[in-house]
């Protein structure tokens, strides 16, 4: 146990000797430098220098008792609270200072996201940080993995629209059911996700299996616009064609009918492709 504690203190910036001396102080105090050297394993030639550093850190105190100089620790909770506030202040200060000269990254690139857990984590972060609107095309299994994030976002009155091949239970969201064709169903085990947030960022992902999961994220305005446009218009196509019936063939150029083959066959019969 002490070794684990020593390692964690070193991660906070303590030297190995400082960590050993502070733990020894917590276990036995107040005590002289000589006794602390024996208890902690810090060499006698180093113990007073180490104790001075602990005092400078605010982790220890020096006192006189019966003519002898003794040392006592600042209580662990008090010291760690101070350390936490100190680090938080340092981080906040660095945010302002670093942004004054840090070059803004070019986010028009498309960034690869590898791994199922990484894709879900990125999607959850996007959804939970949404301010205005979220559009997502996904399958029921994918929805379950993201349900909590959607529910949290809806509580902030963000507009959420989901497109799925079957009904989804998400009160407050607008769920558009877009049934898959037979050929699409055979490919649905890829558990794809298309997610557009606030008209600012897009995540598109697929995973034939969880070990093969891969995705792409971008904030490119053009790609975000195209993706959101697809989500908000193309998935209504089967309904529109159903309303048009045979008139759809008059509106769609012959060379474009292959693009609409599944929907045409489903709603107006064999279009003679």
Question: What share of residues in the chain are helix, strand, coil (percent, to 5)?
Answer: 55, 20, 25
Judged against a pLDDT cut of 60, whether residue 202 lies above it is answered with yes
Bridge partners of 162, per DSSP, are 136, 175
Q: What dotted CATH number matches 2-78?
A: 1.10.10.10
Residue 160 pLDDT: 95
What global pTM score does this model have?
0.56
Residue 141 pLDDT: 86
Mean pLDDT of the chain: 83
Fold of 110-268: Endonuclease; Chain A (3.30.870)
Domain boundaries, the chain: 2-78, 110-268
pLDDT tier at 123, thresholds 50, 70, 90: very high
What Cα–Cα distance (Å) separates residue 77 from each residue in 2, 38, 94, 253?
Answer: 17, 25, 26, 74
């Amino acid at each position: 146990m002490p070794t684990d504690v020593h390692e964690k203190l070193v991660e906070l910036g303590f030297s190995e000797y400082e960590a050993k001396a502070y733990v020894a102080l917590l276990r036995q105090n107040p005590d002289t430098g000589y006794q602390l050297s024996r208890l902690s394993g810090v060499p006698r030639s180093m113990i007073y220098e180490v104790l001075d550093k602990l005092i400078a850190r605010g982790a220890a105190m020096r006192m006189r008792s019966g003519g002898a100089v003794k040392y006592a620790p600042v209580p662990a909770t008090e010291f760690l609270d101070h350390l936490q506030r100190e680090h938080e202040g340092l981080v906040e200060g660095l945010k302002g200072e670093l942004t004054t000269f840090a070059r803004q990254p070019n986010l028009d690139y498309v960034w690869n996201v590898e791994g199922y857990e990484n894709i879900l984590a990125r999607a959850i972060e996007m959804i939970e940080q949404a301010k205005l609107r979220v559009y997502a095309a996904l399958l029921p299994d994918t929805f379950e993995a993201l349900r909590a994030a959607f529910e949290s976002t809806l509580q902030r009155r963000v507009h959420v629209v989901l497109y799925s091949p079957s009904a989804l239970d998400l009160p407050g969201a607008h769920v558009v059911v877009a049934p898959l064709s037979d050929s699409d169903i055979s490919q649905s085990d890829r558990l794809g996700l298309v997610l557009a947030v606030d008209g600012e960022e897009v995540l598109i992902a697929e995973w034939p299996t969880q070990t093969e999961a891969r995705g792409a994220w971008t904030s490119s305005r053009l790609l975000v616009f195209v993706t959101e446009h697809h989500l908000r218009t193309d998935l209504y196509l089967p309904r529109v064609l159903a309303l048009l019936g045979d008139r759809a063939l008059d509106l769609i150029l012959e060379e474009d009918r292959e693009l609409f083959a599944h929907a045409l066959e489903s709603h107006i019969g064999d279009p003679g492709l």
